[in-house]
Amino acid sequence: MSKTSETQIDELGFGPFDIGPDGTETELEEAVWMNLDEIPDPHLPLSLVEMAMIYDVSVDRDGVARVDLSFPCMGCPAYEFIHDDIRGCLRTMDGVTDVEIDVVWDPVWSKDMLDEHAREELRESGIAL
């Protein structure tokens, strides 16, 4: 799984794409990012965060965590599994009262969103980019 630590949260890089943490996160939002980084992609040896599928996270005053999520393709067979994994992971967190997931397609997911660590992990697993 990911080797992301709290001190690396600001270093998650997704190239020129306006996705991922931007350094303005609250402590709870950082914790949400960290927990999401532990959810494995069901098809590849990376987390959902490493796959750049999580575009944004926010937690409102009432503790509702909102996750903007995209998929590498429409009609993903793991769509519901991923939603369930996100809900299950975040609902156990102190300070999170509910989870809302918004599937977004802008920007459209691209392998260009993968950072060098993710690319290396895929290459080591025999997956060509």
pLDDT above 90 (res 35):
yes
Least confident of 6-15, 24-33, 34-43: 6-15
Mean pLDDT, range 49-72, rounded to an integer: 96
More confident call, 74 vs 26? 26
* Domain spans of the chain, in order of start: 6-124
**Cα gap 13→71, rounded to integer Å:** 18
Q: Which residues pair with 54 in a beta bridge?
A: 69
> What pLDDT was estimated at residue 54?
96
User: What region does 69 belong to: left with phi over 0, alpha with psi -120 to 50, or beta?
Assistant: beta
Bridge partners (DSSP) of residue 47 are 40
14-18, 30-34, 66-70, range with the lowest pLDDT: 14-18
pLDDT at 14 over 80: no
User: What is the residue-wise DSSP string for 77-117?
Assistant: TTHHHHHHHHHHHHHTSTT--EEEEEE--SSPP-GGG--HH
Provide the pLDDT for residue 16. Answer: 61
Assigned CATH topology for domain 6-124 = GMP Synthetase; Chain A, domain 3 (3.30.300)
15 pLDDT more than 60: no
